[in-house]
Amino acid sequence: MSNTIRLEDLTLGYERHPAVHHLSGAFVSGTMTAVVGPNGAGKSTLLKGLLGLMRPLSGRVVLSGVRQQQLACLPQQVMLEPDFPITALEVAMMGHWRQVGLWRAMGKERRGTAMAALAQVGLAGFEQRWVSSLSSGQRQRLLFARLIVEDAPVILLDEPFTAMDDRTMTDLLAVVQQWHQGGRTIIAVLHDLEQVRRYFPETLLLARHALAWGNTAAALSAANLEQARCMSEAWNSYGLPCTQGAA
């Protein structure tokens, strides 16, 4: 499994107003990278650009060893319609759609894969439970099970642990680490910096521009975080960035 996503002077935006400016660098095959930064920094916009959901204003995204269709994503807000009559197993089996299409029969083997994925995220025995009966944490576990079934080489996560209880967060972080150990490329938008420092070896600190990209300890230095804070204050006040303090 070898895949790299390279960004070449990438600028993304809405109605020609840039949200991510002149970003260059690479998510190297098999790396596990957190994307962090203040609100409005362009983090979710970047994921949309990687997925091909936004046309660059300038620059480009270059995929090596992987096709855009092989990028799996868990968006920040995934609505599972509570009144729609669908079971946990049926949601997990949606992860097979990329390989078999919407209308082809799944078969016993693919059903078994989905059941194993449910067990991996702590939902063994929930196969026939209606989604409407699941708690928010259980629904997030279910969405991770669908990603496990999808078995993509590159996985993008947008704030996957927001409002999670500690047990669910720990269990799902273990799944992410297993993906990483299996050679997958993980890119996750996160806000908990202690969580990033503990679990993610690489970090992109984004404040519309890349302030740092590389080793997490270096990227999340006090000086870099102060610069990100100052830039955020500048956007919100329409004034000049605050004076940088000593590192």
Q: What is the pLDDT of residue 1?
A: 54
Name 187's bridge partners: 33, 156
Task: Please give the pLDDT value at position 78.
Answer: 67
CB 158 within 8 A of CB 5: no
Which pLDDT score, from 0 to 100, does residue 77 have?
Answer: 65
Token duo for residue 4: 């790299």
Q: Which residue has the tokens 């979710």?
A: 44
pLDDT at 237: 54
- Rounded-to-integer distance, Cα 2 and Cα 64, Å: 8
Task: Return the bridge partners of 93, or none.
Answer: none
- Condensed to tens digits (0 to 9), the pLDDT of residues 52-61 reads 999 999 999 9
Choices 3.40.50.300, 3.40.50.800, 3.40.30.10, 2.40.110.10: CATH for 1-66+153-247: 3.40.50.300
> Looking at the chain, which residues constitute the CATH 3.40.50.300 domain(s)?
1-66+153-247
**Total Cβ atoms within 10 A of residue 34:** 27
Which H or E run contains 201?
Answer: none
Q: Give the N- to C-terminal CA distance of the chain in Å, as an integer.
A: 40
Residue 191 in tokens? 């806000």
Rounded Cα distance, 28 and 212, in Å:
16
- pLDDT at position 236 is 65
Q: Residue ranges of the alpha helices (H) in the chain?
A: 43-50, 88-93, 97-100, 107-120, 136-150, 166-181, 193-199, 216-219, 222-237
* Predicted TM-score of the model (pTM): 0.90
Gyration radius from the chain CA atoms: 19
Which tokens in the block code for residue 141? 């576990």
109-to-45, 93, 97, 106 alpha-carbon distances in Å: 37, 11, 14, 8
| Cα–Cα distance for residue pair 149/157, rounded to 1 Å | 15
Question: What residues of the chain score a pLDDT lower than 50?
Answer: 238-241, 244-247
Sign of CA dihedral 165, 166, 172, 173: positive
Structure confidence at residue 107 (pLDDT): 78
Q: Return the pLDDT at 2.
A: 74
pLDDT at 91: 94
Could you report the per-residue pLDDT of 77-115, keeping only the tens digit for each? 666 666 778 999 999 999 998 776 655 567 788 999 999
